Amino acid sequence: MKVGELLESSGAGGSRSIIAYTNDKNAGFETEMDSILPSDDLKQGSLHSKNSHGNDVKIVPDEDEVITRRTVVKGHSNPEESVVISCGTPEIVGNGSFGVVFRTKVKETGEDVVIKKVLQDRRFKNRELEIMKLISHPNLIDLKYYFLEQSDQELYLNLIVDYMPMSLYQRLKEFISLHQPMDRYEIKIYMFQLFKSLNYLHQVVNVCHRDIKPQNILVDPDTLLLKICDLGSAKQLKPNEPNVSYICSRYYRAPELIFGATNYTTKIDIWSAGCVMAELLLGQPIFPGESKIDQLVEIIKVLGTPTREEICSMNENYSEHKFPQIRPIPLNRIFKKETQETIDLLYHIMKYDPNIRYSALQCMFNSTYFTDIVSNTGSDSNLSLIDSLPLLHFEESELQGLSSNDIYRLTGKLI
């Protein structure tokens, strides 16, 4: 069975059909791919391909064109369910070495969506697709549909996901451009949702994102809804299976990764989340290293020289290495205007030893930083915001390991 046929063009101003056959063995989905999709900054551009006659065809249609995709698979259907959807004129929002991203609207549902188009190696499974089919959480980008697209020589995977107005990086830049600090309650709402989504990834589906950074976190500034996106580097971690250490964008890279650990845990995401939180508070990255070594230097300048035991916890092969002795800087000297509750949470995240670094659930539950959210206290507008998102709705699987009393303290209700 052929994987797909790219398009049938009816000429300028006409409509165009893209027929895609999906996820079967002939599409090259038999084995696992341990590769990383680069998270380059998106740049404006256009995308071209070839039609069946070898002529160059622009993928983005003219304004009066409509794209119809047939045999598109619903993202979470099991067994796979195919549907027909029609999309309006797509708007390129960027491209990079990973592929092309554009925004459009599904005419049948009226949903604004984003399509991420990536080159698919026929020999391997696409790990991002496989993980996105697994996950379903209000704070994770949702896979609506997917389809394969065949050109003369290449196979492309298209992931259709929900649209969000901007990234957290863009939101922070808005405040910086106004010479204003980001609203502290807005930061708190975002961070609670970030830890909530990481807890789901880590505890429910055993997935490590491995590239948490402001550019990979999407937000709606009107509702303060947050969603993690771009699972191109994500992986289900398995015991005794080594992982690549050269992962995660540099400013947000956990120290055990810099030390070359290959048996790391989901705690690397927590470190990254702490770096994101610090950046929102400071208005700039807390550890702006210019290289791998410089990144470690930036961390040591704040946390001090790691002890032999801490080095061993990150990578036992480095336990005999000697480092210059640097004293730590108290976090309250860096975050001079922040509350003690804020500093305490960062203190429990910024740990060399991943074994004592807080988990996502501990960040929500053990931290007094989120007390007003967890206890439903605060102004009427804040309480309304908590209910509307809703922040305190958890599935039972998200709270595994907590006692009934702990669950009540976290959610205000018994599950």
Q: What is the CA radius of gyration of the chain?
A: 23
Q: Burial-class residue 390 by CB neighbours within 10 Å (0-12, 13-18, 19+).
A: exposed
Give the total residue count for the chain. Answer: 415
CA torsion through residues 4, 164, 373, 214, sign: positive
Query: Is 149 in a helix, a strand, or coil?
Result: strand
Q: Is 238 annotated as a binding residue?
A: no
Q: For 327, what's the count of Cα atoms within 13 Å in the CB-facing half-sphere?
A: 2
| Among candidate residues 280, 267, 268, the one with its CA nearest the CA of residue 214 | 280
| Among candidate residues 181, 247, 171, the one with its CA nearest the CA of residue 212 | 247
Please give the Cα distance from 394 to 71 (Å, whole number): 34
Catalytic residue, candidates 211, 372, 387, 406: 211
Q: Burial-class residue 264 by CB neighbours within 10 Å (0-12, 13-18, 19+).
A: buried
Please give the Cα distance from 258 to 250 (Å, whole number): 9
211 is catalytic: yes
Please give the positions annotated as active site.
211
Residues marked as binding for ATP? 117
